[in-house]
Amino acid sequence: MTAEEIIQLSKTISHALRHEPWLYELEIDNEGWVLVETLLSSLRAERTEWSSLGVADLEKLLTFFDKKRFELKNEKIRALYGHSIPKKLLKQPALPPITLYHGTAVESAASIKIYGLRPMGRQYVHMSVEVETAREVGRRKSKSSIVLTILAQNAYNNGLSFYPAGEFVWLADYVLSNYIQFTGHLD
């Protein structure tokens, strides 16, 4: 598969596992898992060029990107984050790093100061362990973006839950504004 084909496959799998699994006739369990063979069968029917798609192609996709987007285990696959499906997926809470980062539009800062971070159209608030990744996310939202510092361990110690979603991404149900530093990195 070419790089362009892998990117298109990744986008389609993201759509299937994160946003509209019913369009692909997929049943996602409470933790976001679906049988690999069921996904492959659906993808093969989606496009003629994917008619011979196999597990090896999925494994290639998993190693193609620096940022881990999917997890493959026990003949099942799931997207690690970014879900907007109606059924909230169960995540296992864990002790987060001391600080995490969230990139957003500068225009959103006033609302965040009042209401904190909310998942909006997704199931969870997404945060990064790296400033640069948060900066990239913020730039996707607006030309003038800000990176907020989340006092994650402080929030965790006071009862907020955080969930690992790969090597660089952490999730939370919400983050109260008193655990957010607005002296972030302005772009």
Q: What is the pLDDT of residues 59-103, one digit of tens each?
A: 999 999 878 889 999 999 999 888 888 888 888 999 999 999 999
Same structural domain, 66 and 131: no
pLDDT at residue 11, rounded to an integer: 94
95 within a domain of the structure (yes/no)? no
Domain count, the chain: 2
**CA distance linking residue 175 with residue 61, whole number of Å:** 32
pLDDT at residue 183, rounded to an integer: 67
Same structural domain, 104 and 178: yes
| Regions of the chain where pLDDT drops below 70 | 183-187
pLDDT at residue 90, rounded to an integer: 85
88 within a domain of the structure (yes/no)? no
Q: What is the residue range of 126's domain?
A: 100-186
From 20, 44, 79, give the residue that closes a domain. Answer: 79
pLDDT at residue 42, rounded to an integer: 93
pLDDT at residue 34, rounded to an integer: 95
Please say whether the beta carbons of 78 and 27 come within 8 A: no
Same structural domain, 75 and 113: no
pTM for this entry:
0.74
Same structural domain, 106 and 177: yes
CA atoms within 13 A of residue 143's CA, in its CB half-sphere: 0
- Of 51, 44, 50, 42, nearest in space to 20 by CA: 42
